[in-house]
Amino acid sequence: MENNSPETPPRIDRRQALKWLGAAAAALTLSDQLKLFGASAKKMKLVSMADPRGPTNAKLIGTDPLLNHNYTPGELWPLTLTDKQRIAAAALIDLILPPEPGDKLPSALGVQDFVDEWISSPYEETNKDRPIILVGLDWLDAEAQKRFHKDFVAITEAQKCQIADDICGKTAVKKEFKNQQNLQNFFSRFRYLAASGYYTTPQGWKDIGYVGNVPSVDFAGPTPEALKHLGLA
């Protein structure tokens, strides 16, 4: 879907963004890639102010975050993305995750805010993504201007695909981009974060058939197939 609107996407409730961040971090913890909560959080270092990846005037979420509290911007940590970067991020998210008919665009769900919270949080693990994402988003607009004389959000879907295809993987890039691993890393990591944010939304759950903890009126017992699988039928 072509998106020629240069307007900054509205921000979602920050409490919701923090819930997404927690859900994504919990999923990563299960695979031992990231331990954002629990006792291990105490061992994680805040990023130094001298480090361009992130600020120190921030609070760790801790083991028991107040998800019913309306956090204001800057109360936990300052957000990172500029308006221009948020616009580019939203456009790329919608390109990577096109919605089903009748569904909302991922940007309308605020997935770019999840990415912003992620790279802004003051943990070493999440801040590794910070320079990758920031440089990549700036490159998107610069490359769109170079090729089409417009920012990334304002070019057509086909033109966006041309740029994305050049950096989406080793087998799908132009010769001139084959040695630019930083751009490939950007697209790969951004795609991962976009999917992580989107699939923690109710719309994303629906897309993958996740029902969740839905109470049942009664319990009919195991199915014949389940009993057969266990050798009990």
Q: Which domain holds residue 45?
A: 14-229
Whether 155 maps to a domain, the answer reads yes
171-190 pLDDT, tens per residue?
656 777 777 788 989 999 99
Give the model's pLDDT for residue 154. 98
Whether 176 maps to a domain, the answer reads yes
Split into its structural domains, the chain has a count of 1
124-146 pLDDT, tens per residue?
888 899 999 999 999 999 999 99
Task: Calculate the CA dihedral of residues 17, 87, 162, 154 and round it to 10 degrees.
Answer: 150
Give the model's pLDDT for residue 221. 87
In the three-class reduction of DSSP (H, G, I as helix; E, B as strand; rest coil), residue 30 is classed as helix
CA–CA dist 68, 88 (Å, integer) = 30
Whether 63 maps to a domain, the answer reads yes
CA–CA dist 66, 63 (Å, integer) = 10
Whether 8 maps to a domain, the answer reads no
Give the model's pLDDT for residue 19. 62
Give the model's pLDDT for residue 6. 60
Whether 134 maps to a domain, the answer reads yes
Helices (H), 168-220: 181-198, 202-208
4-55 pLDDT, tens per residue?
446 677 666 655 665 666 566 555 544 444 444 343 334 434 443 334 445 5
Angle, to 10 degrees, between the axis of helix 111-120 and the axis of helix 83-96?
120
Contact 121, 77 (CB under 8 A): yes
Whether 2 maps to a domain, the answer reads no
Lowest mean pLDDT among 59-68, 115-124, 175-184: 59-68
CA–CA dist 179, 197 (Å, integer) = 29
Q: Is the pLDDT of residue 169 over 90?
A: no
Q: Single out the residue of 204, 203, 192, 186 nearest to residue 141, CA to CA.
A: 186
Whether 135 maps to a domain, the answer reads yes
Whether 1 maps to a domain, the answer reads no
Give the model's pLDDT for residue 180. 79
Q: Is the Cα torsion angle 95, 99, 100, 104 positive or negative in sign?
A: negative
Give the model's pLDDT for residue 69. 74
